[in-house]
Amino acid sequence: MTARNRELLALVPASLLVTAGFAAVFISQDATLSDATRSQELSDLSLTIGAVFLGLCLAVHVVLRFTLPHADPYLFPLVAVLACFGLVVIYRIDAELAREQAQWFVVGLVLFVGTIVFLRDFRRLERYRYTIAAGALVLLLLPRVPGIGQQANGAYLGVGIGPVSFQPAEFAKIALVVFLAAYLKDTRQVLVLGARRVLGVTLPPLKHFGPVLVIWGATMLMLIFIRDLGSSLMFYGAFMALLYVATSRLSFVVIGLALFALGAWFIASPAGRILPGTGQVKDRVDIWLDPFAPSVVDDKGYQLAQSLFAQADGGLFGTGFGQALIAQADGSPVLPAPQTDLIYAVVVNELGLAGACGLILVYLLFVERGFKAAMLSRDSFSKLLATGLTAVFALQVFVIVGGVTRVIPLTGVTLPFVSYGGSSIVANFVLLALLLMVSDRARREAVA
């Protein structure tokens, strides 16, 4: 069976999942209808949604069959599973939000196809590394521009231009990975050969290690200027992963992590509180340390505390679709932001630990296929690009799941392809397109 035929076969379970998921939600929400009426409406609604979803996936599959015949056959089906699961959960929370998410899903597919068709050779991005890096910095700073910047929960994440709003950080992460992959491809040998050992620690030459300091400074600036702890962790973690793959020097990563820890400690210290925006970071750390403290739980720690209660209520197998208590009868929220920040808590509540493990397993499979594409790649830029894209995707999942489960401080990062948000789903489809292009080239060369 060819790669594309395996991809086609793997799309069937995704369509069955979205059909069964919408059917389960419909049954739980319309239990007051008669059996005959419910059966007819259930059949029409769930089968129509499943057919539309399968049709969209088949259209994309046909494009992949002609443009990227050797690409990994499992990446797109895994994304289809995540996307359809996200649509089901969001529909359970708010039907109108689910319709908007479905529209963004279509937009993401269009941009996904456009990236593959018009970019053709992803290696052309290497020529414009500094232009792409400048664009990433501009995107990160846009939320602080007066008139268009939008603030949410103390962090500057969004940009609004007329009726259109988006989160620039979702697109900046891809641009930053492209720049780092291109830069480290040219300097990785110099970083290793020119390094010196001081007190048992390998130190790279300063003139070539400058970008590490620049990225570190930009990360600290993000903590202070846009107050986005989640994006800071995600970007810096992806950079450390790329640096390690490019140089194979663990000491470089240790130095980078030490710098990040030093900067975070200073920001959280009393001396760092004089800087603007550091109070927001300190509050998130305080909430993380003890969300049930009397001085925290009734105000800023309410969101995390309710998230932990919701996950505990789910138990091993969950309460069932539509059974989680998200809002009270008067409309006041019991679980704040369930469609974005705390959608993982909703999943654990309704599907239990078993369902949450299944969701994380799908993410792990996606990450494994992404790293496999990197391992098969023969040229350095392709290898680093696939590694960076996969690492930033994995770190995004870790940051939001870790925040909801209180492993790390809670941040506003979205759960890829599952959380509500047009910027997230569109940007991640571009990320998927680049991964498939790298995979197609690597597998084609391996066959040859």
Span of 104-113, 318-327, 337-346 with lowest mean pLDDT: 318-327
Q: Check if the beta carbon of residue 365 is closer than 8 Å to that of residue 327.
A: no
What pLDDT score does 393 carry? 94
What pLDDT score does 19 carry? 80
Average pLDDT estimate for 48-63: 88
Span of 94-108, 177-191, 279-293 with lowest mean pLDDT: 279-293
What pLDDT score does 250 carry? 80
Q: Please check the confidence at residue 40 and state whether its pLDDT lies above 60.
A: no
Band (59; pLDDT cuts 50, 70, 90): very high
Q: Please check the confidence at residue 41 and state whether its pLDDT lies above 60.
A: no
Band (239; pLDDT cuts 50, 70, 90): confident
Band (26; pLDDT cuts 50, 70, 90): confident
More confident of the two residues 213 and 86 = 86
Q: Please check the confidence at residue 410 and state whether its pLDDT lies above 90.
A: no
Q: How many beta carbons lie within 10 A of that of residue 438, not counting itself?
A: 29
Average pLDDT estimate for 3-15: 89
Ordered by start, the domain boundaries in the chain are 124-288
More confident of the two residues 414 and 72 = 72
Q: Closest Cα to residue 138, out of 175, 177, 92?
A: 175
CA distance 213 to 239: 11
Span of 3-12, 175-184, 217-226, 364-373 with lowest mean pLDDT: 217-226
Band (334; pLDDT cuts 50, 70, 90): confident
Q: Closest Cα to residue 435, out of 420, 416, 421, 448?
A: 416
Q: Please check the confidence at residue 1 and state whether its pLDDT lies above 70.
A: yes
Band (205; pLDDT cuts 50, 70, 90): low
What pLDDT score does 212 carry? 60
Span of 132-141, 353-362, 429-438 with lowest mean pLDDT: 132-141
Select, from the ranges 44-48, 120-124, 125-129, 370-374, the one with the highest average predicted confidence (pLDDT): 370-374
Span of 47-56, 294-303, 313-322, 323-332 with lowest mean pLDDT: 294-303
Mean pLDDT over all residues of the chain? 82
For residue 22, give the amino acid letter. F
Residue with token string 């963004």: 104
What pLDDT score does 440 carry? 94
